[in-house]
Chain A
């Protein structure tokens, strides 16, 4: 793309002044295409910096809508955006930020059905998703389509950032086995420091721009560990795993796969209580709330028994296996884990609050719950 003489030069003057970028580099960015998977905490800074930097075509894929609880960190969105599709709002903001670039707003979920055809259309893919199944799907699609992926994940104060290249290593070399469903809390479950995705997403944007410009030392085969609480970063080196099912010596995985089982654990033999049914169910059972103490400080249902999941094993003796319990947490992930532990300990009269206390609270607008 020829930028020389155009008014774009003024916009990018601070790039043009850097020997490693200059006019040739800026033209390279203008001709580049980046796909950002997920317009959430990480997606916000990644999208903003890539758009501002003049990456010529940016794809945004996200099937979610803006929720008020996103605004603590997802800085592309405003109060009045609540309820609107994230991909659409993000595209609007980026267009306002830089009208010289093209934006593809894809309001759907990135999954095995569309992963390869989407990835094929871009030069670099930035994984800003929030589910393990999407992360494996992204890495597999990039490996199969020969694309560079810039990966990051966040939890509370911690971040992980790295780059995966088509020749490996890939995400499966780093984490060959997805964690047991429910064993790893999401941001919605565990929380996240609002600025953390800003820090980590900025690293992703930097690596994506370096990849497109082909400059510097790539964060390849190096997992950067960000600890915002200690204000420290560390690095762990890793290589392509010869045993990797995707990029190893004898690969067996040739298509991305969706793993819906990662999203919800089947609790065979345990009744699922819908939020609407909870009040009736509690006439014959006790509510066992397994949220952590700092969450319960924000509100506990009257009559509920509170044993945090982190203390469940140590405090199992406080529970009576002859009694009926409806086990609940915030969104229904830790409560499934707790039911597994309780069943192992011989509890049989268990039911599970589907969707957690968050969905129950949503039934009654008068009940404040966070």
Chain B
């Protein structure tokens, strides 16, 4: 059961808090992480639109497998100027 630290930004932070720890099944990917967050917080529905993940301060693909101690950042796009 790898545990990861999730950092959320902008609108996602408003729903998830700045930082939280999430435990996932062995072999879970970033997509699985999102599903588990969505199950815990249904208001996240739709907010994944255009979102990217970073793992240990590096942008990465949604298929990436998670490991114990990974720091995951949820990066929503925003357009304001």
Residues of A within 8 A of B (CB): 38, 40-43, 127-132, 135, 152-156, 158, 160, 174-175, 177-180, 183-187, 190, 192, 197, 223, 225, 227, 230, 234-239, 310-311, 313-314, 337
- Is A227 in contact with B9, judged by CB distance below 8 angstroms? yes
Q: For the complex, what is the distance from the CA of A239 to the CA of B45, rounded to whole Å?
A: 28
- Is A128 in contact with B81, judged by CB distance below 8 angstroms? yes
- Is B58 in contact with A190, judged by CB distance below 8 angstroms? no
The closest CB in chain B to the CB of A311 belongs to: B43
The 8 A-B residue pairs whose C-beta atoms are closest, nearest first, are: A179-B50, A238-B59, A155-B78, A130-B81, A187-B80, A179-B49, A180-B49, A158-B10
B11 interface residue, CB < 8 Å from A? yes
- Is B78 in contact with A237, judged by CB distance below 8 angstroms? no
In the complex, chain A residues whose CB is within 8 Å of the CB of B51: 179
Contact A153 to B9, CB < 8 A, known contacts A180-B46, A183-B46: no
In the complex, chain A residues whose CB is within 8 Å of the CB of B31: none
- Is A153 in contact with B54, judged by CB distance below 8 angstroms? no
Q: For the complex, what is the distance from the CA of A129 to the CA of B78, rounded to whole Å?
A: 11
Partner pick for A313 among B42, B75, B79, CB 8 A cutoff? B42
In the complex, chain B residues whose CB is within 8 Å of the CB of A225: 9, 73, 75
Q: For the complex, what is the distance from the CA of A179 to the CA of B73, rounded to whole Å?
A: 18
Q: For the complex, what is the distance from the CA of A192 to the CA of B79, rounded to whole Å?
A: 12
Q: For the complex, what is the distance from the CA of A98 to the CA of B42, rounded to whole Å?
A: 53
Q: For the complex, what is the distance from the CA of A40 to the CA of B79, rounded to whole Å?
A: 13
Contact A155 to B18, CB < 8 A, known contacts A183-B50, A310-B43: no
In the complex, chain A residues whose CB is within 8 Å of the CB of B42: 313-314
The closest CB in chain A to the CB of B81 belongs to: A130
The closest CB in chain B to the CB of A128 belongs to: B81
- Is B46 in contact with A132, judged by CB distance below 8 angstroms? no
B77 interface residue, CB < 8 Å from A? yes
- Is B79 in contact with A130, judged by CB distance below 8 angstroms? yes
Partner pick for A129 among B45, B57, B75, B81, CB 8 A cutoff? B81
In the complex, chain A residues whose CB is within 8 Å of the CB of B79: 129-132, 135, 153, 184, 186
> Can you give 5 contacting A-B residue pairs, CB < 8 Å?
A38-B81, A41-B80, A41-B81, A186-B79, A225-B73
Q: For the complex, what is the distance from the CA of A174 to the CA of B50, rounded to whole Å?
A: 10
- Is A236 in contact with B76, judged by CB distance below 8 angstroms? no
Contact A153 to B80, CB < 8 A, known contacts A179-B50, A237-B59: yes
- Is B80 in contact with A175, judged by CB distance below 8 angstroms? no
Contact A236 to B58, CB < 8 A, known contacts A183-B47, A183-B49, A184-B49: yes
A17 CB to closest chain B CB (Å) equals 33
B52 interface residue, CB < 8 Å from A? yes
The closest CB in chain A to the CB of B78 belongs to: A155
- Is A158 in contact with B46, judged by CB distance below 8 angstroms? no
A16 CB to closest chain B CB (Å) equals 32
- Is A313 in contact with B81, judged by CB distance below 8 angstroms? no
- Is A236 in contact with B80, judged by CB distance below 8 angstroms? no
In the complex, chain B residues whose CB is within 8 Å of the CB of A155: 10-11, 78, 80
B41 CB to closest chain A CB (Å) equals 11
In the complex, chain B residues whose CB is within 8 Å of the CB of A158: 9-10, 13, 78
Contact A180 to B9, CB < 8 A, known contacts A153-B80, A155-B78, A187-B80: no
Contact A238 to B49, CB < 8 A, known contacts A40-B81, A41-B81, A155-B80: no
